Amino acid sequence: MSAAGVRAVAFGGLVTHVEANGEAALRVLDFLYPAADVAPLARAASDLTIASDTAGVFDVARGGILLYRGRETGEAARVLQGAVTEWLAAGCASGLAFHAGAVCRRGRALLLPGGTGAGKTTLVAHLVSQGADYLTDELSFVPAGTSTVCGLPRPLNVKASGRPFVPAAAALWDTMGSPVGALLRPPSGRVNGATEMPTLAGVVFPQFEPSASAEMEPMTAAECGLRLLESLLNARNLPEHGFGGVTHLARLVPAWRLRYGTADIAAARVLQDGPLI
């Protein structure tokens, strides 16, 4: 009999259910979203599925529309992870959903917003290797009216060009390779459905520049607010397109601009001089 399973993925007051059919498909689902107790929420109609056959072919689909068909396990995982992330970000309406990595330590969290190529994932990986707890490398949520934060639980999505820059410790992390990169699951990653939400202690806007030294430059609340608006993914779902919530958050927490060329040095500087000390 073929292996099958369903996994709930919770984020920002939403939950989507992902169904796997086939032994290889179930292994992908277990890697992306380890089993955990998730509070019962209304089932979302995202209809995400991954299936594998005995010939080693994967099908990833949403609502019956094929997103991927092929034999690359890592690519099937990457496409499925992206579809889950996109659906949850687009539907969130109970707070601020940012395109941002996040780590925490001793109940205090650091938000790392930025677009593709800013170096979020690389910096997050080095922060984790130096003792921070992993929350997410891509999608962070701040509930309305709070300064707490949670991250979408998912493996780090490292592009092929970024593989040489991940920390040496990543060699011990669970890995699923893809033609365009790799998915890495740090041991400190919180499992799907974790309810404890650390307090947001600061925001760092990373920007990778090959020749830059790791310097943290303080930002004003106005500068922080403008940059956060650039990373807000669910603005269309929020009153005033999220302007009021972002402004409130920017006034609550300190923010820095970080330009760096070497990720391990930058991570050490953030942990030594940032809000997690």
DSSP string, 107-130: TEEEEEE--TTS-HHHHHHHHHHT
pLDDT digits (tens, 9 = 90+) for 252-274: 999 999 999 999 999 999 999 88
pLDDT at 40: 46
Encoded tokens for 73? 């396990």
Map out the domains of the chain as residue ranges. Answer: 4-91, 96-273
- Structural contact between residues 143 and 94, judged by C-beta atoms closer than 8 angstroms: yes
Q: Is the pTM value of this prediction over 0.75? A: yes
Cβ-based neighbour number of residue 277 at 10 Å: 11
Q: Quote the pLDDT of residue 1.
A: 38
Please report the pLDDT score of residue 15 as a whole number: 87
Q: Quote the pLDDT of residue 117.
A: 78
Q: Dmax over Cα atoms in the chain, in whole Å? A: 60
96-273 is a CATH 3.40.720 domain: no
Write down the pLDDT at residue 213: 86
- Give the residues of the chain that fall short of pLDDT 50: 1, 37-44, 191-194
